[in-house]
């Protein structure tokens, strides 16, 4: 039986997906850019704002030492301190990716921050490519975070290629999944079709009856292209905003009702998408 929390208060909420172009090594400029996008989104009414993966540090590190020099702590680092101040002043929730330093360990992380302060932390579980040279795999699982609008889950980029990520969050009660990401080109991609990342995001939203905000970055960094095309999907799987531009900075906005995602998991008189799982048949 799924762990759906029907008692949690919910209401409509405006979400923002911020697609921007950080530059590796330019941490202060990157932080200033995140602040600008947060302020712009909040001015337009956003209440939950999602930023890309590693948006304060940049992504393509030359060495672990460089990654460490651009990382900071969750509890008192400059990235989360800036976002905490903005969240308090603007009365918003912020989910954003940053390079986290915890003692001698580095993680590719996302902070969840609300109007009353830091709410929690997600550490990327499934590392991609050279990330394995710089970061340790996440050790916190897939936590969820309660807000007055509903429950939020978090994953980062390559986590979205694993159905277990979305299903775990949905079973814990999440109606909205926030995905800071740095999507790169997929070999064999037909330029006339949706990006594979978009297809996976839409399919995951549909098969779990959840909203997903996937905030990607754009630009070229040390020879690595990033594809943009951020999107916000409804619980049916179809986009409610986006995909965004493949190469321009942009803010996507959408009004969603997280309660509707939970209610819609009952597809008919016989089927409820989470309840119908048969783990006994998958062994």
Structure tokens at 139: 């050790």
99 Cβ neighbours under 8 A, 6+ residues apart: 54, 56, 57, 67, 70, 71, 72, 106, 107, 108, 109, 135
By annotation, the residues acting in catalysis are 53, 124, 157
Distance in angstroms (rounded) separating the CA atoms of residues 214 and 232: 6
CA distances from 194 to 50, 229, 230 (A): 21, 9, 11
Neighbours of 60 (CB within 10 A): 16
Cβ atoms 167, 203 nearer than 8 A: no
Dihedral of CA 232/27/221/248: which sign? positive
Helical segments of the chain, H only: 27-43, 64-69, 78-90, 131-134, 163-171, 196-208, 258-263
Residue holding tokens 């080109």? Answer: 185
Q: Is 186 exposed, middle or buried (0-12, 13-18, 19+ CB in 10 A)?
A: exposed
Distance in angstroms (rounded) separating the CA atoms of residues 199 and 192: 13
């Amino acid at each position: 039986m799924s762990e759906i929390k029907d008692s949690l208060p919910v209401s409509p909420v405006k979400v923002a997906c911020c697609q921007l172009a950080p530059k590796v090594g330019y941490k202060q400029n990157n932080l200033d850019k995140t602040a600008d996008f947060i302020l712009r989104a909040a001015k337009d009414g956003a209440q939950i704002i999602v930023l890309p993966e590693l948006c304060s540090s940049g992504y393509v590190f030359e060495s672990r030492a460089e990654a460490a020099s651009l990382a900071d702590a969750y509890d008192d680092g400059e990235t989360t301190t800036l976002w905490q101040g903005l969240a308090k002043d603007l009365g918003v929730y912020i989910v954003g990716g940053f390079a986290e330093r915890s003692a001698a360990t580095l993680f590719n992380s996302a902070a969840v921050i609300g109007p009353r302060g830091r709410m929690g932390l997600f550490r990327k579980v499934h590392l991609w490519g050279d990330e394995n040279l710089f970061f340790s795999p996440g050790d916190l699982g897939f936590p969820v975070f309660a807000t007055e609008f509903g429950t939020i889950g978090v994953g980062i980029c390559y986590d979205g290629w694993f159905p277990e990520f979305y299903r775990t969050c949905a079973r814990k009660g999440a109606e909205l999944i926030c995905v800071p990401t740095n999507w790169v080109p997929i070999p064999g991609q037909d330029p006339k079709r949706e990006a594979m990342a978009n297809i996976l995001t839409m399919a995951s939203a549909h098969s779990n009856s959840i909203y997903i905000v996937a905030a990607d970055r754009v630009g070229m960094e040390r020879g690595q292209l990033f594809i943009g095309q951020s999107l916000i999907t409804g619980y049916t799987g179809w986009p409610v905003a986006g995909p965004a531009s493949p190469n321009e900075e942009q803010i996507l906005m959408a009004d969603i009702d997280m309660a509707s995602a939970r209610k819609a998991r009952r597809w008919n008189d016989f089927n409820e998408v989470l309840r119908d799982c048969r783990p006994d048949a998958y062994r």
